[in-house]
Structure 1
């Protein structure tokens, strides 16, 4: 079965589902876990942390902007560490050997590189369900990992947005 499972996580609802799935697999196969959280420069949380507040005076922009950015960045890193520590402790409480790491960069490449270096048997990760233009412009981490991983990959499907609230009928399409 599996002896080393890399778990790529985000601090979201799908991240919790991914973790639960990995716990179940690790328990069933007596595998060890490494929990990985990647802070990406293109992630919404990172972009929000990098928005700098400006004063009216341009000369104060640099000092205040950098201070604000550093505080936000440290808070984001600390939030990730706390999230990973909590999950690692939950795994250890279930007698599963677990550790964690947090990295900065492109999640797709870091996940594959970590799996290769750690010699993982399995990667467990989430999938947001992006498709079409959204996937083209924003990319798909799970798609990249599926095609470049050095081991098996289990993707846990997140909630796919539906168009329930936007009914499209033939008359709507013809009138536009």
Structure 2
């Protein structure tokens, strides 16, 4: 079955669902787990890059840059803390786990890291964007489904804007 499961996490509420599904699967298959967080300025909660634009704050660019660096460092530290906590949870559940945090474009970084690490399954969330929203925002899960070097398990969001027929749906694509 699966022996090396890569779990792509972010700070969204959906990460809890993704993590739990991956841990349940790892326990059932006795797989090792790698928890991956991709640092990206596009992630929810990341420091606002618009504050770096000098036209908004002329003459304050060095102070603004320092504030941005400080906020970004805190963002990185929060990511590491999240991963450490999840790694501890996995270990307590009897799953061998490690973690990695990398700066990059989430979709490509997930696929590249899966290849380097030798993952045979990638588990990630799918928020259910469709239409124009997906066209303009892109879709990490869609990119990973089409470019992954391994099987992919996407966990559908349980958000209230998702139709009942799609709630708790998971798709496995090889």
What TM-score range do you get, normalising by the shorter chain?
Answer: 0.7 to 0.9
| Larger helix share, 1 or 2 | 1
Q: TM-score, normalised by structure 1?
A: 0.84
Query: Contact 1:50 / 1:72 at 8 angstroms: preserved in 2?
Result: no
Return the alpha-carbon distance in structure 2 between the equivalents of residues 58 and 142 of structure 1. 39
Are 2:23 and 1:23 equivalent residues in the alignment? yes
Encode CA deviations 1:2-37: one digit per residue, 9 max, x unaligned: 000000001222101000000000001000000001
| Structure 1 spans left out of the alignment, 5+ residues | 165-176
| Structure 2 spans left out of the alignment, 5+ residues | 164-174
Q: Which residue of 1 aligns with 2:43?
A: 43
Q: Which residue of 2 aligns with 1:32?
A: 32
Are 2:158 and 1:155 equivalent residues in the alignment? no
Return the alpha-carbon distance in structure 1 between the equivalents of residues 64 and 44 of structure 2. 19
Q: Size of the alignment, in residue pairs? A: 162
Return the alpha-carbon distance in structure 2 between the equivalents of residues 85 and 107 of structure 1. 20
Query: Contact 2:12 / 2:44 at 8 angstroms: preserved in 1?
Result: no
Q: Secondary structure at the match of 2:81?
A: helix
Q: Which residue of 2 aligns with 1:67?
A: 66
Q: Which residue of 1 aligns with 2:116?
A: 117
Return the alpha-carbon distance in structure 2 between the equivalents of residues 122 and 99 of structure 1. 15
Query: Contact 1:127 / 1:155 at 8 angstroms: preserved in 2?
Result: yes
Query: Contact 1:31 / 1:96 at 8 angstroms: preserved in 2?
Result: yes
Return the alpha-carbon distance in structure 1 between the equivalents of residues 124 and 24 of structure 2. 14
